[in-house]
Amino acid sequence: MDPLFRDGVLVDLDVSRWSGARRLSPEELGWRAEEFPEVYSTGSMQLIPKAALERFAQLEGQARYLLERQSFAFPIGGARFVPRMVLPELLAQLDTLKARFAESTRAFLEEYSTLQAAMTPTWREIAKKTWEKAGQPEPLDLYEARFLDAIAAASPPASRLERRFSFSWTCYTIQVAHWEAADAYALAQEETQRRALEADYRVQAEARISAFVDEVVDTLRAETAALCQRVIAHIQSGKAVTERTLKSLGAFVSRFKALNFVGDQAMEAQLEALRAELLSRHSAAEFRDDAALTGVLKDKLEALAAQAESISDRAALTGEYRRRIRRIAVEPSLPVPEEASA
């Protein structure tokens, strides 16, 4: 396995959910061409109340937030790189959300007919407006019945809707590929062409993954600086240091350590010193009652922010890690099903 993937795996989250809407043509709605003005467009029509589907959007949002908070955008394949230290917790959290998504799907399908019925007053109102726009071509009750029948025909049955909802993920790695194992390269017949393609591929892969390692360091340092600056501004405004502030700082120290697979030891050491010397030894009440102690915290945070904002040592910091993967060439391996990865 490549050095990079001894430290983490790629996770690709895939969530599908029905929109509850469909673009319907005038013909599908039972309107005759002569009844329907050319300048009028039906657009996308909501077949059930939007509120009934909000729970799915919320669950997907929570899942993507959890994944993004515990991973880094990877430059190849569109997946997220998750350090192995945080992977078990992330998979447990995704399992919980998947179960909630499945339960929400079951509940939605059970109440689907009720949700369809709830839209009837809205559709009757739309039918009346379009009837008037069309010049009242027939009695309203007939026009309305034809309109509602068309809406019912356009609405998918509950038995076909379950497949429109899914919540899954795949964990996988990419690995250094021997030239002979790469299918794309097997097409090259000439040795010179093969070597040229291989060299170009290796250069591109090395550049992209080297940039990824730099981005990991920059991301963690940027988050460190941002948090420090927020707390410094809080203190400078005259507000008291609260337990929430201390817990937020402590949680970030743990998060930094879990995501720091590249080995930014300088930042990690300073963060650990902050926790050991101040966060773990003093309560919010002590900071509130001791201006000098609050000043020490502020000074520590300013030093941390300054270190985090400095990039002068980034090349040295990431150099050793990049050398471990300097000759990397990538090839997707077989996906690991989510059940096997949990």
Query: Does residue 325 register a pLDDT over 80?
Result: no
Q: Is 54 exposed, middle or buried (0-12, 13-18, 19+ CB in 10 A)?
A: exposed
Q: What is the pLDDT of residue 172?
A: 84
What pLDDT score does 188 carry?
Answer: 44
pLDDT of residue 310: 82
Is pLDDT larger for residue 1 or for residue 303?
303
DSSP string, 259-308: H-TT--HHHHHHHHHHIIIIITT--HHHHHH-HHHHHHHHHHHHHHHHHH
* Mean pLDDT for the stretch of residues 163-177: 81
Segment 240-253, tens digit of pLDDT:
999 999 999 999 99
Q: Is residue 249 within 8 Å of 274, Cβ to Cβ? A: yes
3-class SS at 12? strand
Quick one: pLDDT at residue 333?
A: 39
Distance CA 152, CA 140 (A): 18
Regarding predicted confidence, which is higher, 155 or 325? 155
What integer pLDDT is reported at residue 197 of this predicted model?
Answer: 54
Q: Is 326 exposed, middle or buried (CB count within 10 Å of its CB: 0-12, 13-18, 19+)?
A: exposed
d(CA 304, CA 306): 5
pLDDT score of 37 more than 50: no
Mean pLDDT of the chain: 81
pLDDT digits (tens, 9 = 90+) for 182-193: 444 444 445 555
**Band of residue 128 on the pLDDT scale cut at 50, 70, 90:** confident
Residues of the chain above pLDDT 90, percent: 46
What is the arithmetic mean of pLDDT over 261-281?
93
Residue 33: predicted pLDDT:
53
Whether residue 284 contacts residue 234, with contact meaning beta carbons closer than 8 Å, is answered with: no
Output the six-digit token pair for 74.
């990877």
Contact 297, 337 (CB under 8 A): no
Task: Quote the pTM value.
Answer: 0.70
Half-sphere exposure of 153 (CA within 13 A, CB side): 12
Maximum mean pLDDT: which of 27-36, 149-158, 202-211, 329-338 = 149-158
Mean pLDDT of 164-173: 91
- Domain regions of the chain by residue span: 3-172, 183-324
**Secondary structure class of 335 (helix, strand, coil):** coil
What pLDDT was estimated at residue 210?
77
Looking at residue 31, the DSSP 8-state letter turns out to be: -
